């Protein structure tokens, strides 16, 4: 008959409990290392193999480059269209040199669609930002490469 009283006690018991709200713009979420935010890109590592563009399910990556004086492939343009990118991470999975990686940048709101076309410079800046924010992760990654 008075089953609802049990429910009332449950709601009342929640009253003094610790709140879970995250004061978002002031307090920022802590993303785990594997978090798939917007890409970061290291131009020196790229060998123009085009694998990322081929695996991309939405065809949002376009890249181009040429051989430099030492006959080494050098990347000239590397654009990602974040209008259609679904952040599926397949491009970083196939990248043989880890030139393209995911960062923990996640805020992408913009006023025009054009602002979602991000080029190599932006992506490299994102890499620098990532290095700045997570020096320990970048160090661990390079240490792992050496080992």
Partner 1 sequence: MAWLWQWHNAGLSWLPFLGMVIGAIVVLLIGLGVVTYEIYFERKVLGWMQGRIGPNRVGPLGLFQSFADILKLLIKEDVVPEKADRSLFLLAPVIAFIPSFMVLAVIPFSRTHVFTANLSIGALYYLALSAITIHGVMLGGWASNNKYALIGGMRSAAQMLSYEIPLGLSLVGVVLMAGSLNLNDIVSAQRTWWFVIPQILGFLVFLVAATAELNRTPFDLPEAESELVAGYHVEYTGFRFAFFMLTEYLYLFAMAGLAATLFLGGWLGPWLPGWLWFAIKVAAFIFFQFWLRATMPRLRVDQLMSFSWKVLLPVALLNLVITAVVKAWV
Partner 2 sequence: MRTMALLDEANQVRTEEMLLNVGPQHPSTHGVFRLLVKISGETILDADPVIGYLHRGTEKLAEDLQYTQIIPYTDRLDYLAAMLNNYAFCHAVEEALDIQVPERAEYLRVILMEMQRIASHLLFIGTYLLDLGAMSPFLYVFQERERIVQLFNEISGARLTYNFMRIGGVKYDAPPGWLDKVRAFVPFMREKIKMYDSLITGNEIFLDRTRGVGVYDAETALAYGMSGINLRSTGFDWDLRRKKPYSIYDRFDFAVPLGQHGDCFDRYYLHLLEMGESLKIVEQALEQIPDTGPVLGKVPRLIRIPAGEYYSGIEGARGELGFFIVSDGKDKPYRLKIRKPSFVNLQLLPRLLRGQNMANLIAILGAVDIVLGEVDA
Q: Which residues contact 57 (CB under 8 A, 6 or more apart)?
A: 86, 88, 90
27: contact with partner 1 by CB under 8 A: no
Extract the tokens encoding 79. Answer: 């654009």
Other C-beta atoms within 10 Å of 102: how many? 18
**Could you tell me if 15 and 94 are in contact, meaning their C-beta atoms sit under 8 angstroms apart?**
no
Nearer to partner 2, 74 or 90 (CB): 90
Among 2, 3, 19, 32, binds partner 1 (CB under 8 A): 19
Among 1, 17, 71, 146, binds partner 1 (CB under 8 A): 17
Nearer to partner 1, 4 or 147 (CB): 4
Which residues of the chain form contacts with partner 1 (CB under 8 A)? Answer: 4, 7-8, 10-12, 14-17, 19-21, 23
């Amino acid at each position: 008959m008075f089953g609802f009283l049990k429910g009332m006690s449950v709601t009342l018991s929640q009253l003094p409990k610790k709140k879970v709200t995250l004061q978002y713009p002031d307090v920022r979420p802590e993303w785990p290392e594997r978090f798939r935010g917007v890409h970061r890109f290291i131009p020196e590592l790229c060998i123009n193999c085009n694998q990322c563009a081929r695996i991309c399910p939405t065809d949002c990556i376009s890249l181009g480059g040429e051989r430099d004086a030492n006959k080494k492939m050098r990347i000239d343009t590397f654009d990602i269209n974040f209008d259609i990118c679904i952040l599926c991470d397949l491009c970083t999975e196939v990248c043989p040199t880890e030139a393209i990686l995911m960062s923990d940048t996640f805020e992408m709101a913009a006023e025009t669609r054009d602002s979602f076309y991000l080029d190599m410079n932006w992506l490299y800046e994102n890499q620098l930002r990532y290095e700045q924010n997570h020096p320990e992760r970048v160090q661990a990654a390079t240490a792992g490469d050496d080992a």
